[in-house]
Amino acid sequence: MNMDVATTDEGFVETVDREAEAARSPFYGRAQALNLAPLWRVLGGLVTEEPKSPAVPAHWAYADVRPYLMEACDIISTEEAERRVLVFENPGLPGQSRITPSLFAGYQIILPGEVAPAHRHIASALRFIIEGKDAYTAVAGEKTMMEPGDFVITPSWTWHDHGNESDGPMVWLDGLDMHIVNLLSASFREGYGGKVQELHRPEGAALAETGCNMLPEGYVPPSQSSPIFNYPYRRTRDALDQVSRTRNPDPCHGHKMNYINPVTGGPAMPTITTAMQLLPKGFSSQPYRSTAGTIFSVVEGRGRVRIGDVKFDFAPQSLFVVPSWWPMTFEAAEDAILFSYSDRVVQEKLDFFRERRGND
């Protein structure tokens, strides 16, 4: 037998008997004509022993990205673009608008006076505010003003438009689940038929009704998404501060708080897990890995993240991605605050999620 180590089209290595394969080749050709293919040539790559993400660790410093956002403003209006967004493409997944196989990340920039017109789609979105103030998003008939560090949700199939009423640019991180929607061929979208949607609830209504650990008697949730659609940074920051006084930091995560839907106690979004964590100054984490590829956006503080043997120094407004099953550690040179999102909630619902603490 003439055994060889070969790399198949799918990029995995296996032992192949070249002569036997050559003899089978006419069969493969005839089968292919009928759209039939032999599983034994691809099985190892289809059902891997461990997660093998095609994504790689990557980091973007805001000072590098911001000039491109400004240049985008010179070359296209929000009106023409519909959404003026620069997409973070994972270097392992070029040209696919993916930061991980399942998730989208982009920076949206909106200038004073501009409006991003109302539309709705099955894909859910999160906004995490990076720079600017006095810009709003309107979701399902209610407007909310946004500030840096705010976490804002656009639930599936809700009308949403964005506008900037300030005198400076507004930049936020868009996180969307459209790759999950598209995997299942379940996407719909439509325009509102008018630039801005009609508002029928006063600003702050959602937070007043559902954001104080109480729910109105007879409350019926409108969807599986949290009815709180803006989690203000002020409150989140305060919660982290308080918790850092009452609990010891987790050895892997520091002080990490997950955003929850107050109606269910579960994650704030049905398809995207979101969290904010405080790494105290001098904190050095234990290694951690999970099957949920995660995107981090730094709010405050400097430090270093190590992902496998790749190291990135992070600073405020840095963005980095940790792919599935890559071990990660943090070192915080200053008190650091990190927002993050992942597909963990989807994996948990499907019994896929796995995590491992420490070095094994």
Nearer to ligand GTQ, 120 or 255 (CB): 120
Stretch 110-169 residues interacting with ligand GTQ (CB under 6 A): 121, 125, 160
Nearer to ligand GTQ, 121 or 143 (CB): 121
Strand partners, 146: 135
The single residue among 69, 129, 153, 176 that binds ligand GTQ, judged by CB under 6 A, is: 176
CB count in 10 Å sphere of residue 321: 27
| Residue 85 touching ligand GTQ (CB under 6 A) | yes
The single residue among 114, 142, 174, 300 that binds ligand GTQ, judged by CB under 6 A, is: 174
Residue 265 token pair: 């106690």
Q: Which residue has tokens 């491109």?
A: 68
Q: Are strands 151-154 and 230-231 parallel, antiparallel or unpaired?
A: antiparallel
Site string for ligand GTQ, 274-293 (x = CB under 6 A): --------------------
Shortest distance in whole angstroms from residue 282 CB to ligand GTQ: 36
The single residue among 53, 90, 108, 236 that binds ligand GTQ, judged by CB under 6 A, is: 108
Site string for ligand GTQ, 34-73 (x = CB under 6 A): ----------------------------------------
Shortest distance in whole angstroms from residue 120 CB to ligand GTQ: 9
The single residue among 57, 101, 106, 267 that binds ligand GTQ, judged by CB under 6 A, is: 106
Nearer to ligand GTQ, 139 or 252 (CB): 139
Shortest distance in whole angstroms from residue 216 CB to ligand GTQ: 29
Nearer to ligand GTQ, 163 or 301 (CB): 163
* Residue nearest to ligand GTQ according to CB distances in the complex: 174
| Residue (of 301, 278, 321, 268) closest to 152 by Cα position | 268
* Footprint on this chain of ligand GTQ (rule: CB under 6 A): 83, 85, 106, 108, 121, 125, 160, 174, 176
